[in-house]
Structure 1
Amino acid sequence: MTIHRPGLPEDLPTGEALWARWALRAAVGATIEDEQRRSGYRTGVWIDAEGLHYDDSGCTWWTMSRMGEGRFVLYGEDESSEVKWHEPPIDMLAGGPEWLPYDELRDRLEGNELGCVYWYEHGTWARATYPDDLGDDGLDCGMIGFVDRDRAVGDLSDRIDATTDGPGADTLLAAAEAHRLEPGLLLERLRPTDPDGDPLDLPAVARALVLAGLTAPATAPDPTPS
């Protein structure tokens, strides 16, 4: 999947799909140690009460937050973004809905930390209008790993234990995108160690799945016949 430079709202999948792909990647790497670490001191991909995060501790950082039913905000910066350097200045919040986290976004703007802002509601992404001479807003370099579904499947495949039977990465991702993932099926399929060789923290993975809202709703037991 191609992301234009600068990005276009239609380059992004639905907010629900983007959230699910990002959240699943965050969940499979969750640990209790990271859960107890403040976001400002974390790197990698993770989820917390604020939302989803991606920070490579150098070139790119991003946050995606749920802002109510069917509403999401995506913001961050990649070093490829030219938005904050453009003259005349670009108002990244122009046209934004009233429910955006303006305090957070304005703090980022004042700190010269923001590269672009996208928002999603009524099934559609939007952003401020860019001038024709803007070359890039960083969306491609920052988000391609979550926007491109094949890459998301590949990342999950790398965490799957090929010695066990069960649903494959594509099936598990589809269940997450439908917010009907059964945690047990995923946990049974994951490799026992992470890419660094450390043991997987399965309870933390399960908690992250629930926090992200990717799991199937609990089913009430059938009533006992009288």
Structure 2
Amino acid sequence: MTINRPGLPGDLPAAPELWARWALIAVLEATTKDEQRAHHRTGTWADGDGLHLDDSGSTWWSFTARGEGRWVLYGEDESSGCKWHQPPVDLLAGAPSWLPHEELQDLLSGAQLGCVYWYEDGSWARAPYPDTLDDDGLDCGMSRFADRADVLRTIADEDHGATSAADAQALLTHAENHRLTPELLMSLTRDPHWRQRDRPAMTRALEHAGLNRP
């Protein structure tokens, strides 16, 4: 799946699919050490506020469920020109009332927000962009989750630990169906090359993401 520059709402997979892909990677990366970081956290993770991604440099994103059938995706990649565009791009133009407006306004006031997308009634939407905007950062930030085949390759690489391509497929299918258990996680993965699997942290991430609840 190709993400345009700037992004279009139709470039993103359906919110439940995006959630399952992102959340599974967060579960596979979960460690107690990362959970206990007192300061800025990096990587991909799930917590009580939703899903997060931060590379401690060029990109950060949050993905949050806002009730039945509603999600909001927001963040920033350094490629986004929204906050520098003249005249300024109103990233909340046309946004529904159920978005976390106070939080988003705080980010906007601090020049920390590159784009906002929201999902309701089975489709994505965003504010209208001027024709002169070259990029909103969605491609660089979310392309890693846009194509299911790319996600499967990530799950099966040395950093994430699926034991085979078939096991990566099984993990993602169980995640998409919200039937992923700690036992399945441990049976279909091995220790990544740089660390041992942390079952308690992975289980907590699984609970936060809801991948074990149909």
- TM-score norm. by structure 2 comes to 0.94
Equivalent AA in structure 2 for residue 21 of structure 1: R
170-179 or 133-142, larger mean C-alpha shift: 170-179
Say which SS state the counterpart of residue 60 (structure 2) adopts: strand
1:211 to 184, 187, 208: 208
Q: Indicate conservation of the 8 Å contact 1:46/1:52, yes or no.
A: yes
Partner of 1:90: 89
Q: CA deviation at 1:167?
A: 5.2
2:139 matched to which residue of 1?
Answer: 140
Name the CA distance, whole Å, in 2 between partners of 1:71 and 1:208. 21
Cα–Cα, structure 1 residues 195 and 110, in superposed 2: closer, same or farther, change >3 Å? farther
Aligned-partner residue type, residue 29 of structure 2: G
Percent identity over the alignment is: 58
Structure 1, unaligned stretches of length 5 or more?
Answer: 218-226
Residues 112-151 of structure 1 correspond to what in structure 2 (within 5 A)? 112-151=111-150
Aligned to 1:24: 24
Q: CA deviation at 1:50?
A: 1.0
Q: In 1, distance between residues paired with 2:193 and 2:151?
A: 16
CA contact (8 A) 1:62 1:142 kept: yes
Give the distance between the partners of 1:203 and 1:12, measured in 2 at CA: 31
Partner of 2:168: 169
Larger radius of gyration: 1
* Map 1:1-226 → 2, pairs under 5 A: 1-38=1-38, 41-158=40-157, 159-162=161-164, 168-192=167-191, 194-196=192-194, 198-217=195-214
Shift of 1:32: 1.4
Unaligned stretches of 5+ residues in structure 2: none
Post-superposition Cα deviations, 1:51-84, rounded to whole Å, max 9, x if no partner, equal: 1111111111101011111111000000110111
Aligned equivalents of 1:189, 1:178: Cα separation in 2: 16
Give CA deviations for 1:103-123 in whole Å, capped at 9, x if unaligned. Answer: 110110000010000000111
Question: For residues 127 and 195 of structure 1, do their structure 2 counterparts lie closer, same or farther at Cα, with a shift above 3 Å needed?
Answer: farther
- Matches of 1:111 and 1:138 in 2, distance apart? 17
CA distance in 1, matches of 2:74, 2:193: 28
Farther-moved stretch of structure 1 (136-145 vs 146-155):
146-155
Match of 1:221 in 2: none
Q: Is the 8 A contact 2:27 2:203 kept in 1?
A: yes
Partners of 1:116 and 1:138 within 8 A in 2? yes
- Equivalences, count: 211
Offset at residue 31 of structure 1 (A): 1.1
1:184 deviates by 1.3
- Structure 2: which amino acid aligns with 1:11? D
Instruction: Report what 1:222 is aligned to.
Output: none
Q: Which runs of 4+ in 1 moved over 3 A?
A: none
Instruction: Compute the TM-score of the two structures, normalised by the length of structure 1.
Output: 0.89
Work out the CA distance in 1 between the residues paired with 2:145 and 2:202. Answer: 19
SS at match of 1:41: coil
After superposition, the CA RMSD in angstroms is 1.5
Counterpart code for 2:200: P
Q: Deviations over 1:165-206 (max 9, x none)?
A: x952112202211222233122112112x342x211012112
Say which SS state the counterpart of residue 168 (structure 1) adopts.
helix
